[in-house]
Structure 1
Amino acid sequence: MPVPYPRAPLANLGVQALPDTLSVDDYCIFETEGASVEVVDFLHELYPEDMFAARPNTVVNAMQKNLFDMQARRWRDYPPPDPSTQAEDATAAFLNELTRSSWRVYAALKKQLPDFARQWIVTSSTRNLLNGESAQVPGIALVYAGLNSVQWADILCDIQIVASIEQMPEALRRLTCGAANVFASQGDRFFHIGIALAGDYFQVAYFDRAGRVLSGIRDVNLSCVLFTKVLMGLTMLDASYCGKDTSLASRGGQFFVTVGGLEYRIVETLSITREICGRGTVCWRCRRSDSDKDYVIKNIWADKRQHPTEGDFLRMASSIDGIANLVCDEPVPWPHNEHRTTAWLRDLVQGPDRADVLSDVPHLELRRLVFDQYGQPLEEFATKDELLLALRDAVEAHEQLYDKKDVLHCDISDNNILLREVPGSSRRRGLLIDLDSAVVVKLDGEYKRAPTGRTAGTLPFTACAILLTPDTVAHSLWHDLESILYVLMFVCASYAGPSNTPRTDVDVRSLKIGLWLDGNVGHKTIVMYQYDDDKFREFLDQNFHPYFDDLKELVLDLRTAIARTKFATHRVFLDIFDRHIRRRQSSDEHPAPSASQCAASCPSGQDDDSEEQDARERSAADLPQDDRIAMPPPPTPREKASTSSSHASDDSEVTLVEPRRLYQATKETCPVIARSSPSPKRKAVGEQTTHSPKRQKVDYVD
């Protein structure tokens, strides 16, 4: 810090325009608001009295001369609720003066001061509004002092101001939008705090991977000590009280994390989940000090009540080639070595609805898993042969997992099949990752199946039967094989060639296959189960890029195995892949055009919309009978294909996630972990991908 605080003035940063890190759509907002619960007095639990070196009431008493009028029981310079004034500027100035006064009280009492000063600044950012529109609105944010510019990665706390208490829901809607941007930009978050100011009233919103917890609405004057306690918790206590994961160490502008007693240097952020609720997966590429070997560390909010855990499944699969190799995994303790889940504040709920509220609360705890294999995204395939062989490898690994370990993956997607380097091999091999949705299967008649009603998956790769009747279907191996087919189909529709070559002729969302991104199971089931071969080929012609024309016969055969046989098996899929791969390898020349020859636009095609009428009822009859009854990064980033509007669900997004690099901070005053600068998309071993409302994760567990 160039000058000592609190004596020196803070820099005036003006209004900081925050970038549109992601376009938050209604699904993310509604999901978080739907998982909202009010716990009137949780602030006392969040900021315990004994954590303050000087008690908040002592600090308020010491402010009588400059800030608080004890006789009138009012803050002297708190801005009036006048929408015609510059409320944000005046409020930020008031909050900074309150923070400075708290420091002075600490200094006068010879109490330990924070290592870094924090200041309140005025911001401008795009927020979703209650009327369904989005607009650029002003706000206030807490950041570390000493920054020259501010991004979402720097935000420690977010404040939205409205004129009256009747408008409090509007402020909360904006705070929810801000929370999504914070989680999408910061890979070191336990939780995030937002504060809504409405005239003389305030309400605190606590966001975590289980949703939102709201405090009671309080008067800033009558509850002056509580108001001061919250602000002191955010500015005087360590960053963990702002929701940051302080187990990460910062030294010389680099970040380090210790897992299993070994320290890893974080080289880059590979992926970060872009919505609030769910598993909140963040993956880092890391190295140890004694090696140049790449490791991947996966951070995931896993349900503590789920057994076996992902780590258990990975240990079971340790002997299987083609499954990510686990080095170690462990829960991440909160500060003071506490082990908490997302239920800790919600457990304070009182009243007659307590049992119902708590029954819906997921008990998520943050876990870290270390992998010693580093993979690249499937769309980085060098040739079509490499793409097909990688998918074949995934089928074979899936078969070994199912046959030898009685484990079914249950969440096959484009993000969960990677390309890995193999010493001595001329090509990269397929690698199957992410067993956090896996399940132990048991013999049920002729086949092994998951328990009925326990299904999971990621749109648009989820099998039709699971989307149609999730409560009665038993997830089975043929459902995962159907998902592998959808991975291939979306690659062919999303790209124009190898090495992540994007389509420029059409947006995938404008194609008929784009309907599947939104979970249109009626259209999907008609195409897969009711179209005859000619009409299905026409569908492929309308949706695939010409570069992949020579893969259509393979897709036709795989679709026949899924839709025209009772139950597809691994052997059937492997035989189909082998036959087509041999045919390609035996030919000196493949008939498909090269990527450079495929510049012409593909027609999007128009199906008769009337086909989708009563699609759920009609399409169920075409499913298999049993299902009907049970039913160091490259310097030049490559543009990625357009398959999603941006985001992810329990942590898995539409074809392609935008990666996040670690913010290599040069200021010791700004210990932030993940500034959202775009980088070449890489996929981590063990990564639970980022998805958006356009690619939601299906997760029904009874």
Structure 2
Amino acid sequence: MSDSVCSQRSHALPQANNSAVRKSKSSSSRPYPFSRLPERSSTCVLQSQACLENDAAAALEESSVEISGMITTLYPNSVFPTPPSRITGALDTIMYSLKERRWLNYPSPSLNADPGSQYRALAQFLNEVTRCCSLGHLGMKCPIPRTPRQWVVTESTRTSLDGPANQVTGIALVEVGLDDMQWADVLCDVQIVSGSELLPHALRRLSSGAANVFASQQDRLFHVGLVLAGDVIQLACYDRAGLVTSTPYSINDNPVIFVRIVMGLTLLDKGYGGKDPTIVSRDGRRFVTVGSLEYEIMETLSFSKDIDGRTTCWRCRLPNSDQDFVVKTVWADKERCKPEGELLNMARNVDGVVSLVCEEVVLRLDGSPYATTDLRELLKKSLERCALLGLIPQLELRRLVLAPYAEPLKHFSSKEELLSVLRDSIQAHWVLYDSKDVLHCDISGNNVMMHAQQGPLLRRGLLIDLDCAIVVEEEHGVGPIGRRAGTLPYMACDIVQFSDRVAHGPWHDLESFLYVLMIICATYSGPSNTPREDFDLSDSPMSAWMTGDGDRKAVIMYQYEDDQFRTFLDSVFDPYFDDMKDLVCELRTVILRNWDRKVTHHDVLEVLDQHLQPLRSERERASAVEQGAHGIATIAECSSAEEQNQKMNALESSDCATSDPPSTTTAQSHSSDDSDSACVEPQRTSEGKPAAMEASTNFAVTKRKADTEVSLHSSKRKKIDEANRACPLLLE
């Protein structure tokens, strides 16, 4: 049905329903929508969650496209129980005059009017249109949301087109009943200006609002903002690929367009307004459905807060289970030859690479995939504008369930664990490349993780995130020339400097592993995620890593002589990592200053193993001392327990002195003396063995001797057995 209203009554709602709409104006006893919602007594102040710089906002708007017909594509007739044109016809003489072709009581924005008064009047008007649309739905026996939605006046900090960010008034659509409204509650954002010539100013403020919405809502797939300029409305839709705007429409000449927007935002499921329908909240807990299984979201691990951010990861569990999974939501490039799920399937048997449990494409309520191409494909109708599609990312929403759950490298417990995890990850990278022809291409501090296993004291390394990975050519073993991939601070010098002329090879990833270690040593002051105080990598001699100054970075890594490079490390490494400087110097030489050939995985692992061995030996010695100390404590504990038993037996003997033979007391006394001899005092031996180890050895020998003499010392054996039962660790 077209977005026009027929003036004939046969296309309007039944007269009885019209009368119900009119009567509702005086009704106060019946719930919404029969009675109006109470107005908020004060303006809601939204605290900023993100700051969109003017340059970023300008780039967003310059790359935007205006698409005719996008409103009908967002909210087609098929998603409404009753068409918007029929609801609009029912509003004749109530809110809209078909004869005069104008909205009754519409508070058209004026340049001279008080902004606060204008926004309050417009919010009241929008709420009345929403209420009448809800009544129309009820009149047609169509459902309305269980929790009503309300337009409220807000104040927030926004970037502006002609100056710095400042506090501006606006309108937001939220659910009724919120006491303390925040950006996380905003369903739609509205800005008003006096005329169409000011649309760019309002659009800039909407972009700032969109940045706050995406930064505060993890279940936000796209965001809708509205501009009202006089009697002109324009819809702005923000998604992970950028901005799409509708053609500006006069709400007086196109009332069905206006009603379609209001009904779509206020009466339909929130999924049609940009919320992810697969994420639900119950009793203060969040759940996400993947592959027909519902996982409880226990913790947010990572969250892309930018408008163009593409990845969110949660730690999740299935009901009645304590096993942790990682559920990853990613906007994947549809033009990629192999998506991450397929690459993970190729790496299924590679130890040290995260495993794929399940993958699916997230579907809309109508069963179609969520993609950023849905609206933009309307451009194909115009050959002239179709060329724009090639400049816009074509993204599709996918969700993956991954195992095992792992922690970031910054949580390392010791230097040995730090290097051991790096070694595991390099080994996994080698096997992935050598046996599966898959090159990771995005080695970073976020993608080298560690996970615990039963048995080993140290956690194992785990490579994650194959978003940027590629299947290399069999002949050359490298990626295509000109493909720039990776995380800027960790990218190899060649990729930063000459990405248009360089093919990504495994040696570039090995260089990235080196930067993972260097950045850890510069930004942390110890284990267990201990950040370095008063240190900013961007304001240090390593600033080139953060800014992407490939030339400066290459001078340091390639051209510095050994003494110069050592001085450089002295200036950036935290003192805790002083003993890592020799390792970093050797790795630089092997990876970047071996002019005769490309570095191999074996070369890097050999250097790491040389530096890992002393750390392992030190841990083993410390473990032996600790075990010996534990043995002494155990022996002392058993001796104390034996003394307690001796005293108790002595008391019992004294109580029964009249009936027991005198020899019993004598026997117990001898037994105590004998059992005391089984607990040896720790001494330093002539060979220099630690006293704890010698004590443990002496005890074991004494115990074996006591076992062979059981027939001669039955009372002694009895006491030894009692001591062993009191401290079973001695029997192990």
Q: The TM-score by the shorter chain falls in which range?
A: 0.7 to 0.9
Q: Can you give the 5+ residue segments of structure 2 that lack an aligned partner in the other structure?
A: 1-28, 622-732
**Matching of residue 382 in structure 1 with residue 382 in structure 2:** no
Q: Distance in 1 between matches of 2:155 and 2:585?
A: 51
Cα displacement (A) at 1:376: 1.2
Match of 2:140 among 94, 102, 109: 109
| SS of structure 2 residue aligned to 1:414 | coil
| SS of structure 2 residue aligned to 1:136 | strand
| SS of structure 2 residue aligned to 1:425 | coil
Aligned partner of 1:471: which letter? D
**Contact 2:538–2:547 (8 Å) recurs in 1:** no
Q: Distance in 2 between matches of 1:557 and 1:29?
A: 45
- The answer for the alignment partner of 1:503 in structure 2 is 532
| SS of structure 2 residue aligned to 1:468 | helix
Cα displacement (A) at 1:88: 2.1
User: For each residue in 1:143-176, what CA deviation from the matched residue of structure 2 results, as whole angstroms up to 9, or x when unmatched?
Assistant: 1111111222211111122333222112212222
**Matching of residue 528 in structure 1 with residue 557 in structure 2:** yes
Cα displacement (A) at 1:189: 2.5
- The answer for the alignment partner of 1:553 in structure 2 is 582
Q: Distance in 2 between matches of 1:10 and 1:425?
A: 62
Aligned partner of 1:342: which letter? T
**Matching of residue 153 in structure 1 with residue 180 in structure 2:** no
Cα displacement (A) at 1:524: 1.6
Aligned partner of 1:519: which letter? G
Q: Distance in 1 between matches of 2:204 and 2:541?
A: 33
**Matching of residue 94 in structure 1 with residue 121 in structure 2:** no
| SS of structure 1 residue aligned to 2:48 | coil
User: For each residue in 1:62-110, what CA deviation from the matched residue of structure 2 results, as whole angstroms up to 9, or x when unmatched?
Assistant: 3333422334322233223224412322221211111111112222333
Distance 1:198-1:530 versus aligned 2 partners, 3 A rule: farther
**Contact 1:410–1:455 (8 Å) recurs in 2:** no
Aligned partner of 2:510: which letter? L
Q: Distance in 2 between matches of 1:575 and 1:132?
A: 57
| SS of structure 2 residue aligned to 1:337 | coil
Q: Distance in 2 between matches of 1:423 and 1:167?
A: 64
Cα displacement (A) at 1:354: 2.7
Distance 1:587-1:257 versus aligned 2 partners, 3 A rule: closer
**Matching of residue 320 in structure 1 with residue 350 in structure 2:** yes
Structure 1 residues 342-351 or 104-113, which shifts more? 104-113
Q: Distance in 2 between matches of 1:333 and 1:169?
A: 33
Q: Distance in 2 between matches of 1:11 and 1:319?
A: 61
Q: Distance in 2 between matches of 1:133 and 1:300?
A: 33
Aligned partner of 2:583: which letter? L
Match of 1:434 among 465, 468, 490: 465
Q: Distance in 2 between matches of 1:11 and 1:416?
A: 51
Cα displacement (A) at 1:333: 1.0
Structure with greater helix share of residues: 2
Cα displacement (A) at 1:352: 4.1
Please tell me the root mean square deviation across aligned C-alpha atoms, in Å: 2.2
Q: Distance in 1 between matches of 2:620 and 2:296?
A: 46
**Structure number with larger C-alpha Rg:** 2
**Contact 1:35–1:210 (8 Å) recurs in 2:** no
1:223-262 alignment, distance < 5 Å: 223-262=254-293
Q: Distance in 2 between matches of 1:580 and 1:172?
A: 57
Distance 1:379-1:330 versus aligned 2 partners, 3 A rule: same
Report the TM-score when normalising by structure 2.
0.76
**Contact 2:410–2:528 (8 Å) recurs in 1:** yes
| SS of structure 1 residue aligned to 2:302 | strand
Cα displacement (A) at 1:331: 0.7
Cα displacement (A) at 1:276: 1.8
Q: Distance in 2 between matches of 1:495 and 1:406?
A: 35
Cα displacement (A) at 1:35: 3.6
**Contact 1:561–1:572 (8 Å) recurs in 2:** yes
Q: Which protein, 1 or 2, shows the higher relative CO under an 8 Å CA cutoff with sep ≥ 6?
A: 1
- The answer for the alignment partner of 1:137 in structure 2 is 168
Cα displacement (A) at 1:530: 2.2
| SS of structure 2 residue aligned to 1:96 | helix
User: For each residue in 1:197-256, what CA deviation from the matched residue of structure 2 results, as whole angstroms up to 9, or x when unmatched?
Assistant: 222222111111111111111222222220111111000111111011212344333333
Q: Distance in 2 between matches of 1:241 and 1:363?
A: 20
Q: Which runs of 4+ in 1 moved over 6 A?
A: none
Q: Distance in 1 between matches of 2:105 and 2:551?
A: 60
Distance 1:219-1:268 versus aligned 2 partners, 3 A rule: same
Distance 1:117-1:439 versus aligned 2 partners, 3 A rule: same
Identity of aligned residues (%): 47
- The answer for the alignment partner of 1:301 in structure 2 is 331
- The answer for the alignment partner of 1:7 in structure 2 is 34
**Contact 2:484–2:495 (8 Å) recurs in 1:** yes
Distance 1:135-1:548 versus aligned 2 partners, 3 A rule: farther
Q: Distance in 2 between matches of 1:17 and 1:541?
A: 48
Q: Distance in 2 between matches of 1:403 and 1:461?
A: 22
Q: Distance in 1 between matches of 2:431 and 2:317?
A: 30
**Matching of residue 214 in structure 1 with residue 245 in structure 2:** yes
- The answer for the alignment partner of 1:407 in structure 2 is 438
- The answer for the alignment partner of 1:512 in structure 2 is 541
Aligned partner of 2:487: which letter? T
Aligned partner of 2:201: which letter? E
Distance 1:11-1:580 versus aligned 2 partners, 3 A rule: farther
Distance 1:503-1:197 versus aligned 2 partners, 3 A rule: farther
Cα displacement (A) at 1:539: 2.1
Q: Distance in 2 between matches of 1:512 and 1:198?
A: 51
**Contact 1:191–1:244 (8 Å) recurs in 2:** yes
